Structure 1
């Protein structure tokens, strides 16, 4: 899910959709309005799920999309290789999430962990 907002209202540390991928904003640079145009903003962001650095340059008054990023908790039901099967603690749905390399030995069956969900994708927090 995503919402529409203006480029000028986006701040560092917030989220933005670039190339249909939810990204966290790491830097914003704005230019002054010139003789023939409006002020422009350059936004540098890093993808939440893929870690790819992306940037856009658009007028400050242009519209863009902001993803709805939710932090939820889930209980680990089973671990198979590099994926874990979780059960959401609110609606009790089961799904699988890949385990990141830095958490491979730390995740245990039966414990609760937080995860991030945005635009149909999920990952461990």
Structure 2
């Protein structure tokens, strides 16, 4: 799911879609309008699921897509290797997600964790 917004409405810490990948905006710099052109914005972002740096330069008045990112809670049913089997606490469906290296010591069986989902992709996200 995604929605369309104008570039001038974007803020740091919010989300944007760059190269069909949901990204977190890290910085926005806007230039003044020139004699013959409109103001431009440079958006630097990091991929939500692959952690790659991406950037776009666009007119401030143009439109871009913003992903709808949902944060959900789940209970860890079992852990095998670096994959955790989770049960969503909203609809009680089960799913398997890879445990990121930075969260390996914090994910334990029987505990509740949070995960994020956007554009059909999911990832464990502990804060």
Same fold (TM over 0.5): yes
- 3-state secondary structure, aligned to 1:45: strand
In the aligned structure 2, how far is the partner of 1:114 from the partner of 1:20? 24
In the aligned structure 1, how far is the partner of 2:106 from the partner of 2:90? 24
> Quick check: 1:100 aligned with 2:69?
no
In the aligned structure 2, how far is the partner of 1:11 from the partner of 1:101? 29
> Quick check: 1:72 aligned with 2:68?
no
CA deviations 1:47-72 (Å, max 9, x no partner) are: 11111000000000111000111111
Aligned pairs (5 A) from 1:22-41? 22-41=22-41
In the aligned structure 2, how far is the partner of 1:102 from the partner of 1:43? 27
Instruction: Report how far residue 106 of structure 1 moved.
Output: 2.3
- 3-state secondary structure, aligned to 2:8: helix
Runs of 4+ in 1 over 3 A off after TM superposition: none
In the aligned structure 1, how far is the partner of 2:5 from the partner of 2:102? 35
TM-score by length of 1: 0.97
CA deviations 1:75-115 (Å, max 9, x no partner) are: 11111111111010010111111101111132111111011
Aligned CA RMSD, in angstroms, stands at 0.8
Q: Point out where structure 2 has 5 or more consecutive residues left out of the alignment.
A: none
Counting matched residue pairs gives 125
TM-score by length of 2: 0.95
2:116 corresponds to: 116
1:13 corresponds to: 13
